[in-house]
Amino acid sequence: MKKNNKQILEGSRAVAEVIKNLQPKVVAAYPITPQTHIVEELEKMKAEGKANYEYIRAESEFAAASILLGASAVGSRTYSATCSQGLLLMVEVLFSIAGMRLPVVITCANRAVSSPINIWNDQQDSLTIRDAGWLLFYAETNQEAVDLHILAYKLAEKLLLPVMVNMDGFVLTHTFEPVEIPSEILIKKFLPIYKPDKNLILDVNNPRSLGCFATPDTYMEIRQELHQDVVNSKEEIKKLATEFKKVFKRGIGQNGLIEEYKTKDAEIVFVAMGSVCGTIKAVIDQARAKGRKVGLLKVIAFRPFPAEEIIRALGKAKYIAAIDKAISLGKEGILAAETRKAAHDLKAKIQSFIVGLGGRDVNEQMIKKIMTIVKSKDKSIQFIGK
């Protein structure tokens, strides 16, 4: 079905379609639920002659990440998708990819991690690797997931930083929504063909090393440089988000980092990431109709963490409810901890709420319950399960 250049597509299919149009040279992956439909579609496109990339079904996620590392190191645009235990199996290589400054892009179809085994959605997997040196983006809708992949390649190749685009497993990957898939021609107006600096890739005719041995005299400065470049990527994200809007006639939040929804006069502000933001917006609309001043700050980029933008958005709030679909066990929600640190000088009460672990449905009644609890004197972490 097509109307106004939009198609009704499953989220996984939409991601596969935009990846094809982004023209990677190497796609390497290992199937894992709920990521599988993405790589199945990419393999099908290759088999039907609709794509020119080299498609490699690796023997594991560790192998898939290693293939991407090697392909990127010699100057190829690359892609993979994974989630949950598969992502954690990649961790060693993910650190190496970031340390070697390779512009790899991966989709994570967010899923709970074991044990016990659970194939449904939460965001524990990708947030567990938040310190690996990757830029991390979280999509609310399938259109946003499509758009973030285009932005991801532009960022990765310009900054030489790897990027992970996160979309909630099943909730987005297996849901059909109206999506516009930009053509290869339109994408090229924003993202040119990848031509890496010949002095930064492996070439038998120009021998060099990547990720080689570093002594205590140099290692710390190398890590400091990586850290600073991740921090500084915020300004590039803002710049490219503006450019993206000009080319594609739609934005990614306000600036590629956050999206504010009715926060200007809000007494209560939710802070959240991913598909749960749609449910929160529906509750906010209902509350506003009854005269309650409630808003949402949607975090799109978790790394780099947009601390300054969050402070500005939350400046007038009295109560802040940080909604997490992940937890730092023994502490609180991961997004809550980051928000608390960023907004420590604000007078607002910040409280951590854990929802949706292992795919538990997050409904409107739960969000309404949080609106009540956040105004109570209890400041402890709250698990909202029903």
pLDDT at 339: 97
Q: How far is residue 173's CA from residue 145's CA, in Å, rounded to a whole number?
A: 10
Q: How far is residue 294's CA from residue 316's CA, in Å, rounded to a whole number?
A: 11
Longest alpha-carbon distance in the chain? 70
pLDDT at 386: 84
Q: What is the pLDDT of residues 295-345, one digit of tens each?
A: 999 999 999 999 999 999 998 999 999 999 999 999 999 999 999 999 988
- Ordered by where they begin, the domains of the chain are 2-248 (3.40.50.970), 258-383 (3.40.50.920)
8-state DSSP, 357: G
pLDDT at 1: 45
CB distance 133 to 93 below 8 Å: no
Tell me the three state secondary structure of residue 260. strand
Q: Is 379 exposed, middle or buried (0-12, 13-18, 19+ CB in 10 A)?
A: exposed
Q: How far is residue 269's CA from residue 284's CA, in Å, rounded to a whole number?
A: 10
Q: Which residues of the chain have pLDDT under 70?
A: 1-4
Q: What is the pTM of this model?
A: 0.97
pLDDT at 5: 79
The beta strands (E) that lie in the chain are given as: 2-3, 6-10, 26-29, 54-57, 78-82, 105-110, 135-138, 163-168, 176-179, 258-261, 268-272, 294-299, 301-303, 319-324, 349-354, 382-383
10 Å Cβ neighbour count for 203?
Answer: 13
pLDDT at 4: 60
